[in-house]
Amino acid sequence: MECCEKVLQQICDDLAENIHSPLCQKLRAHLDECDDCRQQVQSMRSAIKLYQCLKDKDVPADIHKRLITLLNVE
């Protein structure tokens, strides 16, 4: 899936890894086999898409903070 490739690329970019590195290959294999992790990635993807849709709107600070905490980003 193209969408999965984009997610995998982003994960590997965040880890400063080449998409074809052994680590990224392990991530791909794990996501292919693990329903729980695949669902987690899908949930994160959905949350990010929702948040991006709100970029032109004022998001209350407490909601912004909770989302950042949920996604484990700063």
Higher-confidence residue: 11 or 62? 62
Q: What is the pLDDT of residues 2-52, one digit of tens each?
A: 566 677 677 767 667 777 888 888 888 888 888 888 888 888 778 777 777
- pLDDT value at residue 16: 72
Residue 50 has what pLDDT? 77
- Report how far apart, in Å, the C-alpha atoms of 21 and of each of 18, 24, 25, 28, 64 are: 5, 5, 6, 11, 34
Instruction: Report the distance separating Cα 64 and Cα 66, nearest Å.
Output: 6
- In single-letter form, the type of residue at position 8 comes to L
Q: What is the pLDDT of residue 44?
A: 78
Q: List all residues 6 or more positions away from 8 whose beta carbon is below 8 Å from its beta carbon.
A: 19, 24, 27, 28, 31
Domain locations along the chain:
2-71
Looking at per-residue pLDDT, the higher value among 72 and 42 belongs to 42
Euclidean distance between CA atoms 20 and 18, whole angstroms? 5
